Amino acid sequence: MEVSFGITGKDFVLFASDTSAARSIVRMKSNEDKQKVIGKHLVMAYSGEPGDTVQFAEYVERNLRLYQIRNHLPLRPSSAASWTRNQLATSLRSRKPYSVNLLLGGFDPTNTTPELYWIDYLGTLGVVPYAAHGYGAYFALSTMDRWHKPDMNLEEGLDLLRKCVDELEKRFIVNLGEFTVRVADKDGVRQVNLKSGEAVVPV
């Protein structure tokens, strides 16, 4: 029942994830952050088997950090996505595969383009302008097909995101609660409030 969205715009990438931590039919927590900032301009939204998700996300986070320490250079979004995909593809044919789906992306300062990668637990990698994981895909992808434009500014991007979330609230039988939204652009990564569009100051 988890949902995550990713949208690229003119010079940014938007990520949105639901905040429910569910076990069976019970919501155990309603402020779970299912995203990780894995570089100065890099974000990863993850969903899947509870346990695997955090374990794998932290594994990716620490390895990307290690690369940066060793090489004094961070991996670019395309390389980070490629490495992460490879880990999942290798894991798929192991004794206990990770069951984690990802939206990985960010702003590449070297060529000043926003990039978004759709990755699933099989190690499938798609380079996409907008994407969704979970049941949200069945509701939001057509909305994104209709309204997405490659040269959108941040406000238009947030508007599209609101359209998608509204569609879920209207047609999806499960109430997912609030959404965590992050923006990755040339200035780095920041969390924003979906309703107001204002930056969220970490407590």
Rounded to whole angstroms, how far apart are CA atoms 112 and 115? 10
What DSSP string describes 12-58?
EEEEEEE--EEETTEEEES----EEEEETTEEEEEEESTTHHHHHHH
Rounded to whole angstroms, how far apart are CA atoms 13 and 8? 4
3-class DSSP assignment, residue 140:
helix
**Beta carbon of residue 143, minimum distance to another protein (angstroms, whole number):** 14
- Which span (1-9, 67-75, 137-145, 167-175) binds another protein, by CB under 8 A? 137-145
Q: Which of 131, 152, 184, 192 binds another protein (CB under 8 A)?
A: 131
Contact flag: residue 89 with another protein (CB under 8 A): yes
Contact flag: residue 1 with another protein (CB under 8 A): no
- Which span (7-15, 70-78, 80-88, 188-196) binds another protein, by CB under 8 A? 80-88
> Is 17:7 a contact under the CB 8 Å cutoff?
no
Contact flag: residue 79 with another protein (CB under 8 A): no
Contact flag: residue 154 with another protein (CB under 8 A): no
Residues in Cβ contact with 174 at an 8 Å cutoff, skipping those fewer than 6 apart: 1, 135
**Beta carbon of residue 126, minimum distance to another protein (angstroms, whole number):** 4
Rounded to whole angstroms, how far apart are CA atoms 100 and 122? 9
Q: Which of 1, 21, 54, 141 binds another protein (CB under 8 A)?
A: 141
**Beta carbon of residue 165, minimum distance to another protein (angstroms, whole number):** 19
* Phi, psi (degrees; rounded to nearest 5) at 46: -125, 150
Contact flag: residue 149 with another protein (CB under 8 A): no
Which spans of this chain sit near another protein (rule: CB under 8 A)?
Answer: 85-86, 88-89, 92-93, 118, 120, 122-128, 131, 137-138, 141
